[in-house]
Structures are given as structure tokens and as C-alpha cells.
Amino acid sequence: MMKLTILGCYAATPRTLSNPTSQLLEIKNHTFLIDCAEGTQVQLRKQKIKFTKINHVFISHLHGDHFYGLIGLISTFMLFNRVNDLHVYGPKGIKEIILLQLRASGSFTGYSLCFHELETTQSQIIFEDEHVEVHTIPLKHRVYTNGFLFVEKNNERRLNLDAIQNHNIDKVYYNKIKYGGTITLDNGTVIPNRELTFDPPKGLRYAYCSDTMYEESIIPLIQEVDCLYHESTFLESEAHLLERTMHATAKQAATIASKAQVKQLVLGHYSTRYPSIELFKQEAQTVFEEVILADDGKIIEIN
Amino acid sequence: MMKLTILGCYAATPRTLSNPTSQLLEIKNHTFLIDCAEGTQVQLRKQKIKFTKINHVFISHLHGDHFYGLIGLISTFMLFNRVNDLHVYGPKGIKEIILLQLRASGSFTGYSLCFHELETTQSQIIFEDEHVEVHTIPLKHRVYTNGFLFVEKNNERRLNLDAIQNHNIDKVYYNKIKYGGTITLDNGTVIPNRELTFDPPKGLRYAYCSDTMYEESIIPLIQEVDCLYHESTFLESEAHLLERTMHATAKQAATIASKAQVKQLVLGHYSTRYPSIELFKQEAQTVFEEVILADDGKIIEIN
């Protein structure tokens, strides 16, 4: 299971009752922060999330409603005498912005602050360990923007118990087999792993796509993901704003979800011009059924 | 009367229920913003203050808890299609920090954004018009820091009604006399203004001093001001932290207030380590009686 906490999901500017974009994704042994608008550290406090669990921050693009809270979070980590490395993934330029402000305040971080600046427009793997992979999803917006695909790795192959019992293999070898090992029987016969196992179940995948206009080139990258967050700044009634702003409508988000055959679609990055976010769900469901509305503080479990 | 709205007055980092430093000063025909920590724009909304009234922002120093909210405010002004010039007064370096972030987002402000960068350690007048003057108050902190002295100009001289009636001067001339005009009587005699008026009452003065260590050199600049805001990060029990942090205690703030014979002292910039801010008032009042505790959302009238 992954746990997605929406810290903020409204467009443009922080307001009294709504926050611009930030999300927290708990995946395997990691707590990833995705975007970090002004006020994110207060939203983390409101959700009672231990700041120090966050070691990786992914910034989609350098519009203020997605990253103006990062410098404050980094400064707060300094005050808290953080020790662990902090990794920041974001567009080229983010390092200079952060370091310029730290220098101006005569500060330095006691912890290592590692920037991973992005500039390619091809999807690439930007984080990988034993349990998790993170890929970029190149998006189309007014400035250089990436979405992110978070993938749980599933390294454990499933045991083919019939085959294993046919060969009278003892239980002590099961773990070896799960992780791809071959078995040598007492008579010297070598049994290759593929005869004893099935492929592992596919790991869960979460795709974060914001901000972006309607862009079909992302479909192969997010094909059949378990959960897709796709921005829906507008409704179709504001379609005339799309070309200039390079945002998407709820219907367009649903069309992407449908074409990519994702399991569920989460909508967000709402313009605050509408009287109710239910309108986004209604519009999206004319195209795709499994729609969840993001809202500040909402927790979404991805199974 | 001046009206001071405390938007935030706690040290270090934004929390769920307390905000770092920002104040709004309404003085004559101006609405001045003093410091602008992360979350200031939300605090302005909570106080139902019309953003567009703010044309001047004064930043004391480049620590995050005094200016990380400025870039967000400037961006929100762009979204609101602001037209009026915005003047920013602050330490050298502030312009580069703001412009770097605007460039990274591919943004430009439709309004004029005028930076007035400060670098002298002598007090100077940085704003002046018919009604108001603003002076810097050089402070001692870990980075280059200025407090600000806000002065109402009083241009209207008080009428000496006895003298005016002795000369049988008609009421239609009263305004001319108030603004320093001389009067020529029907018989040709010229009456100089000083015979018809008294000096105007002194204009109100508000001094903002944060962040700073105890520094007696500021006393002549703030002598007898109507209201002094002086930081009190600590109580005397934490005096051992003063040298390293270059902050002041409540007792030190009160000592400055007493020596400068100010009318009232407002305390703020509290460390959140203490169970109650009442402790700051108690400590300060051992030295100086007229103490007000700043608190987020509090409005202080200066008469």
C-alpha cells in the first residue's frame, strides 16, 4: 500500500482555507514530498507528520505555487539540527535560488543538501533503490515541468508450489527461490529458478502530473498505473483559457485517465473561481468513472 | 492615530498557531508592510486587509522568518493584475533574490517593482512625502539589519486665536495661516506667520526594532517615541544564548524603553520555548511599566 496525503491542491496562491500544491507520499520505507508551496511546513504540522522522515523532495516546476515553501522547510530543518541528507529533485535553477537565500542569511545547513537538477525532456529514472523507483514524466506547461512516476519494486518472485513439491525441495530454500536463486538437488540436477517461480506481481505505481496541458505523449508512461493525479485547473467552460495558461480541464484529465486505462484518477490544482469542486468530479465522470477529488488534508490509500 | 496590526510576532519558524514576523502599519494615507515572513499573505487575508493598499514593504534583514513570504506576495500581486508601483526597502541582496525567482518562473510583474537596497550602517531617511518620513535604525544582529522609525509629519501650525482676533483677520484666511502663510492687513501691514500661530504638535512616531541584541546606540534615534516595538526573543533565564544568537531579553527591551523614555513598549519575536508570553511582560515590567504584548492578529492603536 502507498499512502498519499494531500497537503494542498489548489491553484495559484495560498488562501485562508486552501493551500497551493504539496503532497506527501509514503511508499515502502520512504516518505517523499512532492512539490512544496508556501505554507507546506504548516500543513505538515497540521497533519502531524514528522518532518525528519522526509529525505527526498520532488519539485515539478519553478512556479511559486509549487516551490515557494521549500526554502522555509530547508531553514526549519536547520533550526531542528537535522542530520540526514536532504535530496531535492527539480528543474535546473533550483539550486541557485536556494543557495542564494541561504548565503544572504549567513546560514549553512548542518546536514547535506543534495540537489539533483533536471533538464532533459525525456523520461528518466531519477531515484532508485532496492524498493522504489522514481521516473520523470515530461509535461507541457509554460515553464520546464516534470511529473513523477513512483514505482514500488517487487523483487519477490511468487513460488510455484507444485513444481517445488515435485522436486521435494525443503522450506529452508524458499527465500532463496523467491529472490531468484537456482536449486541444486541432492542428485546434482540444477533446477533453474524460472521452473520454480512465477513472475512477481507488479508493484504499485502512482503518477503525479501537474502542472500540464492535455498531452497524450504521457500516456505510455502512465499506462495502467494504480493511481493518477492529473491537474484539472479548469472546467470545459473555461476552455478558452487553456492555450494561454497551458493547464487542463477535468474532462481532459479524465480523457488521459481513460486512454491510459489507469485504475483511479485524482483531480486537483483547482482554480478557486468555481463554487464547488464537485463540479470537477461531475465533468470528469462523463468520461471516466473512478474519480477522486483531492482536498487539503485528504488521505488517499493506493492499493 | 496610527494603527498597527500584528500579523506575526513569533521567532524562527511558522507553526500551526503562531506566525513569524510581519506587521502592518496604517499611518496617514499609507499602509506600510513591515517584514514579510512565510504565510504573511494568508495572515493579511485573515485580517481582511485589502492587499492592494500596500505600496511599501520594509524588510529589516534577510533571515527567513522576516522575508520568505515576500516572493509569494509579489507573485500574488501579479495574479491580481496589480497596477500600482510596489516599493521594497531592504538589505542589499534582496533584489537579486526576488528577481532570480521571478525569472525562473518565466514571470514578470505588470506593475513596477522598485527596490531600495540598504547598506549603510548610519541612520538615513529612506522614504519621505508630505505626510510621513521613514528613517532606518541600524541594529546589531548576526546579519546586516535595520529597524525603522515611522514619523508622522505635522504640517499644520496651531492658530493663535487671540492674536488673529486682535488683527480682525477673517476666517477665510485660517487655512493659509495654518500652513505658514503671512497676512497683509487692509492697511498694508504685513503680519508674519509666527505672530499668528504656535508650533504644530509633534507628529506621532513608531519605532520597529527587530531583530537586535541590546544596543544602546539606538536610544537617541528612538528618544520619546510614542511606541517602540523591541524584540524580546528570550527571558533573562536564557541570557547565555544572547551572545551567540544576538537577540535580546524582555528585560533588555524594557531597559532600552526606559532609557529612551518611550511612551509604550510592545514586545514580540518570542521564542516558542516558553509556556506563556505573559512571562515576557512580567520580566519587562520590573524595569518599565507601559508594556504591551504583541500577538498574532492584535491591533494596537498609537495615539
Q: Which of A40, A122, A127, A47 is nearest to A75 (CA)?
A: A40
B219-274: pLDDT as tens digits: 999 999 999 999 999 999 999 999 999 999 999 999 999 999 999 999 999 999 99
pLDDT digits (tens, 9 = 90+) for B75-89: 999 998 999 999 999
The answer to whether A262 and A224 are in contact (CB under 8 A) is yes
CA distance A76 to chain B (A): 6
State yes or no: pLDDT of A147 exceeds 90.
Answer: yes
What pLDDT was estimated at residue A170? 92
A-B Cβ pairs (cutoff 8 Å, strict) = 96
Of these ranges, B48-52, B170-174, B222-226, the one predicted with the greatest mean pLDDT is: B222-226
Look at A62 and B104 and tell me if their CB atoms are within 8 Å.
yes
DSSP B112-163: -EEEEEE--SS--EEEE-SSEEEEEEEE-SSS-EEEEEEEE----PEE-HHH
Q: Work out the pLDDT band at B173, boundaries 50, 70, 90.
A: very high
Percentage of chain B modeled with pLDDT above 90: 93
Predicted confidence band of residue B108 (pLDDT cuts 50, 70, 90): confident
- Report, as an integer, the average pLDDT of B156-165: 93
Looking at the complex, report in whole angstroms how far the Cα of residue A124 sits from the nearest Cα belonging to chain B: 22
Grid cell 504539496 — which residue? A22
The rounded percent of chain B whose pLDDT value lies above 70 is 100
Residue ranges of A 7-36 with Cβ closer than 8 A to chain B: 12-16
Q: Which of B101, B102, B140 to mutate to test the interface with A (most CBs of A within 10 A)?
A: B101
- Output the average pLDDT for chain B: 96
Q: What is the pLDDT of residue A108?
A: 82
From the list A12, A14, A93, the residue facing B42 with the nearest CB is A14
- Output the pLDDT for position A154: 85
- The predicted pLDDT at position B104 comes to 95
What confidence tens digit (pLDDT) does each residue in A59-93 have? 999 999 999 999 999 999 999 899 999 999 999 99
Is A170 annotated to bind a ligand? Reply is no
Nearest CA to B88 out of B113, B61, B62 is that of B113
**Helices marked H in A70-195 — which ranges?**
70-79, 94-104, 161-166, 174-178
Higher-pLDDT residue of A107 and B293 is B293
A116 marked as binding residue: no
**Arithmetic mean of pLDDT, A168-176:** 92
Instruction: Output DSSP code: residue B179.
Output: T
Domains (ranges, CATH) in chain A? Answer: 2-154+202-302 (3.60.15.10), 158-197 (no CATH)
Q: Cell numbers 508630505 correspond to what residue? A: B130
> Which ipTM score applies to this complex?
0.88
In the predicted model, what is the mean pLDDT of residues A24-40?
A: 97
For B47, which residue in chain A has the nearest alpha carbon? A16
How confident is the model over A246-265, as a mean pLDDT? 98
- Amino acid making up residue A30: H
Whether the per-residue pLDDT at B159 is higher than 90: the answer is yes
Q: Where are the alpha helices (DSSP H) in chain A?
A: 40-46, 64-67, 70-79, 94-104, 161-166, 174-178, 219-222, 242-245, 250-259, 278-284
- Give the model's confidence band at A39: pLDDT under 50 very low, under 70 low, under 90 confident, else very high: very high
Asked if the Cβ–Cβ distance from A14 to B62 is below 8 Å, we say no
B72 CB near a chain A CB, below 8 Å? yes
pLDDT at B202 (0 to 100):
87
Q: What band does B58 get if pLDDT is binned at 50, 70 and 90?
A: very high
Which pLDDT score is estimated for A143? 97
Q: What percent of chain A has pLDDT over 90?
A: 92
Average pLDDT of span A271-277: 96
pLDDT, mean over chain A: 96
Tens of pLDDT, residues A213-241: 999 999 999 999 999 999 999 999 999 99
d(Cα A209, Cα A222) in Å, to the nearest integer? 10
Rounded to whole angstroms, how far apart are CA atoms A249 and A234? Answer: 5
Question: Which phi and psi (to 5°) does residue B210 adopt?
Answer: -165, 135
pLDDT value for B254: 98
Angle of helix B94-104 relative to helix A94-104, nearest 10 degrees, comes to 170
Which residues 73-102 of chain B have a CB within 8 Å of chain A? 75-76, 79, 91, 93-94, 96-97, 100-101
Q: Is A65 among the catalytic positions? A: yes
State the pLDDT confidence band at B155, using cuts at 50, 70 and 90. Answer: confident
Report which secondary-structure segment, H or E, holds B67. Answer: helix B64-67
